[in-house]
Amino acid sequence: MMQTNPKREQLTASYDWYRQMRETQPVFFDQNVQAWHIFRYDDVARVLSDHATFSSDQNRFVPAEYRDSSPLSSSILRMDPPRHRQLRHLVSQAFTPRMVAQMESRIKEITSGLLDQVQALGEMDVIRDLAYPLPVTVIAELLGIPTERREDFKQWSDAFVSGDGEATEEAMQAGIQAAGSMVGYFTQILEERRAHPQNDLVSALLMAEVDGERLSTEELIGFCVLLLVAGNETTTNLLGNAILCLDENPGNVERLRANRELVPNALEEALRYYSPVKLMPRWAVTETTIGDQRIEAGQLLFAWIASANCDEAEFPDANQFNIEREPNRHLGFGRGIHFCLGAPLARLEAKIALSAMLDRLPGSWHVPGVPLSPIKSMSAFGVKQLPLTWEK
Ligand code: HEM
């Protein structure tokens, strides 16, 4: 983030902006987008976790004709209590840490199969060859969806994510179309699993019940789409960004090889240093103040996780990538009632992938000095391609 490498300028420019804003206008109303930008750690943590004041449900605050009707809007990500609590409880029954832990050997197998394809070559594209196919395969298997549809998944989640980056008519249309395809696809899968339950997450979700209540079809689809979209791109970027961090800070690959215990810490530090999710939106329920600014009821706020995670007030030497940082209370997975439900899965996948790379790609790693382009998205941070070489 604080590198002066010209090849990385395009990638890291926003970090200069965050720093400047934290220092000069930490709570800033942007006339262009009619929203508040929140940059400091304490403020971002509050906006994310004070759900009584800051709502996640956009549809409470916009006129009917502007309501978001995408499947995500009926997912827990966009819900407030009490419905959020009920639904989160329901989906947590199906998506348990135990279920995730059971995936471990399968995640290792998939990772190993992917590295088999590149190991002898001495070079790979980290995104194309590992960081993208791994999470999409895992989530497809977890949901019980045939992997043949993997390419469709990629296209759907890309269209979704880029729809939030550029408000061009084209990008928005692609996003709407992708949403339609996903709803159609999951409606069919749900019907099949209703008739013939399997040992998979979709069947478990269909059966999950709290206080005699079940998920509606709309909510089920919303959750499946959320898993697919929220769970893929983010995990891809965690692994890609971790490799970027290691490349920018020589010596760490060797330290990790010598001390594998540090792998989970290094990944937490990557989540802090190059956060895969840059920001989350909230809507003010009532009038309130942040710092010396008055926020009106109904106003939109962007909580800049990426900026909070490099705030010196919380992280001493915030611009140092330190794989032994302790404590590391980063906000990469959010904070409060919406804290990432997929965090155990993302952490497990990234740990397995990075450990397998350390085992199988010997010598020092090198990212060639080509300009790296950030993916186009308002909320996701990562690179499109990430070439890597090692000693054969
Ligand atoms: C490194 C990877 C990931 C990152 C950085 C990440 C980040 C986040 C963040 C910041 C939130 C909070 C949103 C908010 O406060 O509004 C969140 C929520 C969520 N994430 Fe993740 N996520 C990752 C991976 C995953 C995976 C693998 C899954 C599932 C397979 C997943 C499922 C969810 C769900 C269901 C929620 C909504 C929870 C709720 O609203 O109660 N995430 N994630």
Q: What is the pLDDT of residues 96-144, one digit of tens each?
A: 888 899 999 999 999 999 999 999 999 999 999 999 999 999 988 888 8
Cα of 254 to ligand 1 centre, how many Å? 31
The pLDDT, as a whole number, for residue 241 is 98
User: 107: closest CA among 347, 352, 343?
Assistant: 352
Q: pLDDT tens-digit profile of 268-277?
A: 999 999 999 9
The pLDDT, as a whole number, for residue 166 is 55
The pLDDT, as a whole number, for residue 190 is 93
348 ligand 1 Cβ < 6 A: no
230 ligand 1 Cβ < 6 A: yes
Cα of 67 to ligand 1 centre, how many Å? 23
Per-residue pLDDT of the chain (392 residues; tens, 9 = 90+): 444 576 678 888 899 999 999 999 999 999 999 999 999 999 999 999 999 999 999 999 888 887 877 787 878 999 999 999 999 998 898 888 888 999 999 999 999 999 999 999 999 999 999 999 999 999 888 888 887 887 887 788 777 766 555 557 887 788 788 888 888 999 999 999 999 999 889 999 998 887 788 888 888 998 888 888 888 889 999 999 999 999 999 999 999 999 999 999 999 999 999 999 999 999 999 999 999 999 999 999 999 999 999 999 999 999 999 999 999 999 999 999 999 999 999 999 999 999 999 999 999 999 998 889 898 889 999 999 999 999 87
Residues ≥6 apart with Cβ < 8 Å to 123:
387, 388, 389, 390
Q: Measured from the CA of 223, which atom of ligand 1 is nearest?
A: 35
Q: Is 213 helix (H, G, I), strand (E, B) or coil?
A: strand
Give the residue, by CA position, lying nearest to ligand 1 atom 37.
Answer: 77
The pLDDT, as a whole number, for residue 4 is 57
The pLDDT, as a whole number, for residue 19 is 97
Beta bridge partners of 281: 302
User: Helix axis angle, 133-143 relative to 343-360, nearest 10°?
Assistant: 130
CA distance 221 to 227: 10
77 ligand 1 Cβ < 6 A: yes
37 ligand 1 Cβ < 6 A: no
Pocket perturbation via mutation, ligand 1, pick of 340, 347, 375, 381 by most ligand atoms within 8 A of CB: 340
Is residue 202 within 8 A of residue 189, CB to CB? The reply is: yes
Beta bridge partners of 302: 37, 281
User: 303: closest CA among 35, 82, 117, 80?
Assistant: 35
Cα 381 off chain centre by: 9
340 ligand 1 Cβ < 6 A: yes
39 ligand 1 Cβ < 6 A: no
Q: Measured from the CA of 91, which atom of ligand 1 is nearest?
A: 35
The pLDDT, as a whole number, for residue 243 is 98
107 ligand 1 Cβ < 6 A: no
The pLDDT, as a whole number, for residue 231 is 84
The pLDDT, as a whole number, for residue 333 is 98
Q: Measured from the CA of 305, which atom of ligand 1 is nearest?
A: 10
Cα of 275 to ligand 1 centre, how many Å? 12
Q: Is 375 helix (H, G, I), strand (E, B) or coil?
A: coil
Q: Measured from the CA of 139, which atom of ligand 1 is nearest?
A: 30
